Amino acid sequence: MAKTYCFPSVRSRRQRSRNLRAQSLFTDRGVWPALILLVLCLASNAPGQQQHTPIVLQDLGRATLPLDGDWQFHEGDDLAWASPGYDDSAWQPIQVGRSWEGQGHRNYTGFAWYRRRLVLPPGSASAWTLGLYLSGVDSACEVFWNGVRVGSYGKVPPDPVWYGFGFGGSTGTVVTLGPAQSGELAIRLWKAPTVFLNSPEEGGLLAAPVVGSAEAVAGVDAAAKYRRLRASRFSFVLAGVAGMVGVMALLLWLRDPSERMLLWLALAMVYPTANYFLLDAPRLPFRVAYGLIGPLISTHDMAMWFLLIALLGLKEHRRLMRWTWIVVLTAVGLDLIDSVCQLFDWTAWPPHRFLTIDVLSTTPAIYLEMWGFVLVFAAFGKRLDVARWMLAIAALLSTLLLALGDTSGLGQRWTHWTLANKLHGPLFTIAGTSLNFPSIVSAFLLMAILYSAWRYLVEHGQRQSALEQEMSNARAVQQVLIPDEIPSVPGFKIESVYKPAGEVGGDFFLILPTADNGVLAVIGDVSGKGMPAAMTVSLLVGTVRTLAHYTISPGEILAAMNQRMLARSRGGFTTCLCARIADDGTLTLANAGHLAPYSNGEELPVSSGFPLGLIGDAEYPEIALQLAPGETLTFLSDGVVEARNATGELFGFDRTQKISDQPAQSIAEAAQRFGQEDDITVVTLTLLPAAVLQS
> Under a CB-based contact definition with an 8 Å cutoff, are residues 279 and 167 in contact?
yes
Per-residue pLDDT for 12 more than 50?
A: no
List CB contacts of 419: < 8 A, sequence separation 6 or more. 404, 408, 409
Which residue blocks in 567-687 are alpha helix, DSSP H?
638-641, 652-658, 664-675
**Confidence at residue 60, expressed as pLDDT on a 0 to 100 scale:** 63
Phi/psi-derived region of residue 518, left when phi > 0, alpha when psi is between -120 and 50, beta in every other case: beta
Confidence grade of residue 16 (pLDDT, cut at 50, 70, 90): very low
Residue 135 maps to a domain: yes
Confidence grade of residue 48 (pLDDT, cut at 50, 70, 90): very low
> Under a CB-based contact definition with an 8 Å cutoff, are residues 638 and 599 in contact?
no
* Distance between CA atoms of residues 161 and 157, nearest Å: 8
Q: How far is CA 683 from CA 496, 517, 523, in A?
A: 4, 19, 8
* Distance between CA atoms of residues 106 and 204, nearest Å: 12
* Distance between CA atoms of residues 289 and 438, nearest Å: 20
> Under a CB-based contact definition with an 8 Å cutoff, are residues 279 and 164 in contact?
no
The interaxial angle of helices 286-311 and 260-268, nearest 10 deg, is 150
Residue 299 maps to a domain: no
Residue 573 maps to a domain: yes
* Distance between CA atoms of residues 384 and 215, nearest Å: 61
424 three-state secondary structure: coil
112 three-state secondary structure: strand
* Distance between CA atoms of residues 585 and 578, nearest Å: 16
Work out the angle at residue 428's Cα, subtended by the Cα atoms of residues 425 and 431, and round it to the nearest 5 degrees. Answer: 120
Confidence grade of residue 103 (pLDDT, cut at 50, 70, 90): very high
List CB contacts of 269: < 8 A, sequence separation 6 or more. 242, 243, 245, 246, 249
Per-residue pLDDT for 37 more than 50?
A: no
Q: Which of 226, 258, 287 corresponds to the end of one domain? A: 226
Q: Which residues pair with 433 in a beta bridge?
A: 430
Q: Compute the average pLDDT of residues 534-540.
A: 81
* C-beta atoms surrounding 159 within 10 Å: 8
Confidence grade of residue 429 (pLDDT, cut at 50, 70, 90): confident
List CB contacts of 360: < 8 A, sequence separation 6 or more. none
11 three-state secondary structure: helix
Q: What one-letter code names the amino acid at 659?
A: I
- Structural Rg of the chain based on CA atoms: 44
* Distance between CA atoms of residues 338 and 357, nearest Å: 8
DSSP conformation class of 614 = S
**Confidence at residue 59, expressed as pLDDT on a 0 to 100 scale:** 61
Closest CA to 674 of 688, 685, 690, 658: 658
Q: Which residues pair with 182 in a beta bridge?
A: none
**Confidence at residue 81, expressed as pLDDT on a 0 to 100 scale:** 96
Per-residue pLDDT for 634 more than 70?
A: yes
* Distance between CA atoms of residues 564 and 561, nearest Å: 5
Residues 258-312 pLDDT 10s: 888 889 988 988 888 888 777 665 578 889 888 988 898 899 899 889 988 888 8
Residues 595-619 pLDDT 10s: 999 998 899 988 888 999 888 888 8
- Mean residue pLDDT of the chain comes to 83
H/E element, 22: helix 10-27
DSSP conformation class of 84 = T
* Distance between CA atoms of residues 205 and 195, nearest Å: 19
> Under a CB-based contact definition with an 8 Å cutoff, are residues 347 and 192 in contact?
yes
Residue 99 maps to a domain: yes
* Distance between CA atoms of residues 50 and 61, nearest Å: 26
* Distance between CA atoms of residues 442 and 272, nearest Å: 8
Highest average pLDDT, of 93-102, 495-504, 540-549, comes from 93-102
Residue 526 maps to a domain: yes
* Distance between CA atoms of residues 82 and 143, nearest Å: 9
Residue 538 maps to a domain: yes
Per-residue pLDDT for 535 more than 60?
A: yes
Confidence grade of residue 362 (pLDDT, cut at 50, 70, 90): very high
| Lowest pLDDT segment from 149-163, 444-458, 464-478, 641-655 | 464-478
Confidence grade of residue 434 (pLDDT, cut at 50, 70, 90): confident
Per-residue pLDDT for 501 more than 80?
A: no
Q: Which of 193, 226, 259 corresponds to the end of one domain? A: 226
The answer to whether the pTM exceeds 0.85 is no
Confidence grade of residue 124 (pLDDT, cut at 50, 70, 90): low
Confidence grade of residue 159 (pLDDT, cut at 50, 70, 90): very high
**Confidence at residue 435, expressed as pLDDT on a 0 to 100 scale:** 82
Per-residue pLDDT for 19 more than 70?
A: no
**Confidence at residue 554, expressed as pLDDT on a 0 to 100 scale:** 92
**Confidence at residue 43, expressed as pLDDT on a 0 to 100 scale:** 43
503 three-state secondary structure: coil
Count of domains for the chain: 2
Beta 140-145 vs 110-119: how paired, if at all? unpaired
| Lowest pLDDT segment from 65-79, 376-390, 643-657 | 376-390
Q: Compute the average pLDDT of residues 14-38.
A: 41
Residue 441 maps to a domain: no
Per-residue pLDDT for 141 more than 60?
A: yes
Residues 196-244 pLDDT 10s: 988 889 999 999 999 988 889 999 999 988 888 887 888 888 888 888 8
**Any idea what the CATH number is for the domain that residue 542 is in?**
3.60.40.10
Residues 56-89 pLDDT 10s: 776 665 678 899 989 999 999 999 999 998 999 9
Per-residue pLDDT for 397 more than 80?
A: yes
Closest CA to 594 of 622, 574, 619: 574
Residue 528 maps to a domain: yes
Residue range of the domain that includes 673? 482-694
Residues 312-351 pLDDT 10s: 888 888 899 999 999 999 999 999 999 999 999 999 999 8
* Distance between CA atoms of residues 216 and 173, nearest Å: 13
**Confidence at residue 134, expressed as pLDDT on a 0 to 100 scale:** 93
Highest average pLDDT, of 23-37, 89-103, 418-432, comes from 89-103
**Confidence at residue 474, expressed as pLDDT on a 0 to 100 scale:** 64
- Burial (0-12, 13-18, 19+ Cβ within 10 Å), 132: buried
- Burial (0-12, 13-18, 19+ Cβ within 10 Å), 24: exposed
Q: What one-letter code names the amino acid at 202?
A: E
**Confidence at residue 559, expressed as pLDDT on a 0 to 100 scale:** 92
Q: Which of 163, 198, 226 corresponds to the end of one domain? A: 226
Confidence grade of residue 576 (pLDDT, cut at 50, 70, 90): very high
**Confidence at residue 90, expressed as pLDDT on a 0 to 100 scale:** 94
